[in-house]
Structure 1
Amino acid sequence: MVISYKTILIFLLGCFGCFKAFADKENPAVSLGQISSLSSKVLNKTVPLSIHLPENYDSSNKTYPVLYMLGSHYRARFGMLASTLDYMGEGQIPQMILIGIDLPEGNRILLPTREELDTTIPDNYIKFFETELMPHVDAKYRTASFSALYGASNSGFFTVYTMLNAPNLFNSYFASSPSLSVIPEVIQKKIKLGPFKTHGENRSLHIIYSDDEGRLPELVSEFSSVVEEHKPKNFIYKVDELVNQGHVPAIDFTKFLLALYPDFNPIENLDTLDKVTGHFDSLSKRYGHKILPPISTIFSLGADAIRAKDLVAAEKIFEYSLQVYPDGKQSYVGMGVVRRDQKQLEPARALFKKALVIDPDYSLATRLLQRLDE
């Protein structure tokens, strides 16, 4: 089935408000984030890239984990991943930088040749990641020391292949409906004898596929039995078989992220600032980079303290919020309410105005300021 640019545009404009349409037909129908490229000596070509940064990246001083997506020339899929990161970021997972590697030749280029079992091209792509792309991204953006690789179908095979050949290159590997029928004997040999056994801490592989994908369920089962027998002790391996979802299930990315950060939003009630900071300090230690409590979590905690009329606790909470989110409008509104309830009306007014400087359309700050002046 051929999908027109017009159809894609209508779909994406409905789903992803951050897309921009171009009137010039020579330009792409839609774009998201930044279009870039990197000249690669390893691959002997210029590699097109698609970049999506977290909201408020420019105004923050945070570092962010990086997700590398193979096949971002498929704009609808790239848009879906970027939107998912925006939607889930800070509520269910940390905010992340998304780096898309366009594959205009098609993702089959990442496969070894079937006849000669020549792995030159996928091996060179691994070297490209290690020696060119990842150093380039780390130098250009504020990256945390945590990264993941996402691939689907043929690029899902490449994700698995990369994990087996360079297990410490990424912290987590996501493979959606991977083409495991490609050189299965070589893959099994890599699992048993390759560098997979030398992985470091904090590494994982997660495969998702559907039960209606031909022989793939059988191939995943065979692959899993070998992995489970030979995987290192601390390596995390997870498989999800979905029902009647077709090739590369649409919900794969959400499931990948929730499994990667299963307790970012914990079940237990974090009802004190010490519990909140302790939880996220524990996550930071586990993932190897600083993970701050979301500003929404801090704001809710402070609001609870204000409702309980515990202004001492509320003041401490919003002092912390201002410290870690000095450009967060909620930090100023929360402290403004504390000052208002402490009868310090002028400091409260100044704090509400500061929130409106950050976001002139912040309706909560506007209402609080109006009530203060009544």
Structure 2
Amino acid sequence: MKKNIVFILLVVFAIPSIIFSQEVKKSFSIGETVTISSKILSQDRILNIYLPEGYTKNDSIPYPVIYLLDGSITEDFLHVTGLVQFFNLQLGMPKTIVVGIANGDRKHDFTFPTEIADLKKEYPTTGGSEKFIRFIEEELQPFIANNYKISDKKYLLGQSLGGLLATEILFKKTELFTHYFIISPSLWWDDQSLLHNASNYLSKIKKPVYVYLAVGEEHNIMVKDTKTLASELKKHPNNIVSNFIFFPKENHTTILHNSLYQAFLLEFPYKEQK
């Protein structure tokens, strides 16, 4: 009897080790990381690229692209791609490629030059947005078009200084994107010089464009400037379709995820299944 009990115990305790020894592990991937060499920026730049399930370059259907500023793995790339996947699965958003542009020096890339002494002292590396915009237009977008099956629908998403850059591109190179998602833009930069010229820039936009603006309970200047930009956009209804949402329960740290959820919800509203 004792021998039988010992045998049973040996079998019982041996089973888990047998099971675990048969585990199969596979790598998990949602896309690819690509490094491209930029002649304009004189440096290599890392792109994190989300490819939707079933993506193939030979697909008959082209894919919209979201270009994400602050697109490093440790920044906004993962949670933005999560929202994209959720909206595709649940709310009818088309399968979409996300191109996360990993940062080098975002203060340099996302700002235009200033002559304000205090800003130059506090942010000594700033002033590189003109080259960065050229990089997007002349190197990044052609690379994506040549290597992926994409449609004409192109989104740009930027927050804070990224929102400042997105606004500058909207004003100066509107045609680079069809949709602009601008969150908590740092329009205070250079004593609000970009915002002061908003009317002049916006009046020159001829091709229809969509702009989504959002701001939370943040610095008074940021809230005021974003609301001013929203008002300026509404003065040009023939060529600019825009939405503005104020998020009183969100701050500069928490606003991006919820505001992007609402932006997608405006484009792909929930419809009750019948």
Q: TM-score range by the shorter chain?
A: 0.7 to 0.9
Structure 2: 5+ residue stretches without partners:
1-25, 121-125
- CA–CA distance in 2 between the matches of 1:192 and 1:105? 30
Paired residues in the alignment total: 238
Match of 2:49 among 36, 48, 51: 51
Match of 1:245 among 241, 250, 253: 250
Match of 2:34 among 19, 31, 36: 36
User: Counterpart of 2:115 in 1: which secondary structure?
Assistant: coil
Which has a greater percent of strand? Answer: 2
Q: Which amino acid aligns with 1:35?
A: T
Q: Which residue of 2 aligns with 1:176?
A: 183
- The answer to whether structure 1 residue 225 and structure 2 residue 223 are counterparts is no
Q: Which amino acid aligns with 2:65?
A: V
Q: Which residue of 1 aligns with 2:11?
A: none
Q: Which residue of 2 aligns with 1:205?
A: 211
8 Å CA contact 2:33, 2:48 repeated in 1: yes
Written as runs of structure 1 = structure 2, the 5 A alignment for 1:316-355 is none
Q: Which amino acid aligns with 1:129?
A: I
Q: How does the TM-score come out when normalised to structure 2?
A: 0.77
Q: Which residue of 2 aligns with 1:66?
A: 65
Q: Which amino acid aligns with 1:46?
A: D
Q: Which residue of 2 aligns with 1:96?
A: 96
Q: Which residue of 1 aligns with 2:14?
A: none
Structure 1: 5+ residue stretches without partners:
1-18, 22-30, 270-374
Greater relative CO (CA pairs within 8 A, separation 6+) = 2
8 Å CA contact 2:52, 2:96 repeated in 1: yes
Q: In 2 relative to 1, CA 193–174 (structure 1 residues): closer, same or farther, beyond 3 Å?
A: same
Q: Which residue of 2 aligns with 1:115?
A: 115
What's the CA shift for 1:232? 5.1
User: Counterpart of 1:200 in 2: which secondary structure?
Assistant: coil
Q: Which residue of 2 aligns with 1:87?
A: 86
Which has a greater percent of helix? Answer: 1
8 Å CA contact 1:188, 1:223 repeated in 2: yes
Q: In 2 relative to 1, CA 37–268 (structure 1 residues): closer, same or farther, beyond 3 Å?
A: same
8 Å CA contact 1:159, 1:175 repeated in 2: yes
Q: Which amino acid aligns with 2:63?
A: Y
- CA–CA distance in 2 between the matches of 1:236 and 1:194? 16
Q: Which amino acid aligns with 2:131?
A: N
Q: In 2 relative to 1, CA 258–196 (structure 1 residues): closer, same or farther, beyond 3 Å?
A: farther
User: Counterpart of 1:197 in 2: which secondary structure?
Assistant: coil
8 Å CA contact 2:38, 2:135 repeated in 1: yes
What's the CA shift for 1:196? 5.4
- CA–CA distance in 1 between the matches of 2:192 and 2:160? 18
Match of 1:156 among 163, 172, 194: 163
Match of 1:254 among 247, 257, 261: 261
Q: In 2 relative to 1, CA 255–38 (structure 1 residues): closer, same or farther, beyond 3 Å?
A: same
Q: Which amino acid aligns with 1:223?
A: L
Deviates more, 1:55-64 or 1:156-165: 55-64
Q: In 2 relative to 1, CA 48–111 (structure 1 residues): closer, same or farther, beyond 3 Å?
A: same
Per-residue CA deviations over 1:216-256 (Å, capped at 9, x if unaligned) read 21122223333333x35231121111022111513122112
What's the CA shift for 1:68? 0.2
Q: Which residue of 2 aligns with 1:316?
A: none
Overall identity of the aligned pairs, in %: 21
Q: How does the TM-score come out when normalised to structure 1?
A: 0.58
Written as runs of structure 1 = structure 2, the 5 A alignment for 1:120-135 is 121-135=128-142
Q: In 2 relative to 1, CA 108–176 (structure 1 residues): closer, same or farther, beyond 3 Å?
A: farther
- CA–CA distance in 2 between the matches of 1:227 and 1:198? 11
Q: Which residue of 2 aligns with 1:235?
A: 240
Q: Which amino acid aligns with 1:72?
A: G
- CA–CA distance in 2 between the matches of 1:170 and 1:54? 21
8 Å CA contact 1:177, 1:210 repeated in 2: yes
Q: In 2 relative to 1, CA 83–20 (structure 1 residues): closer, same or farther, beyond 3 Å?
A: farther
Q: In 2 relative to 1, CA 178–171 (structure 1 residues): closer, same or farther, beyond 3 Å?
A: same
When the two chains are superposed, the root-mean-square deviation of aligned CA atoms in Å is 2.8
What's the CA shift for 1:52? 0.5
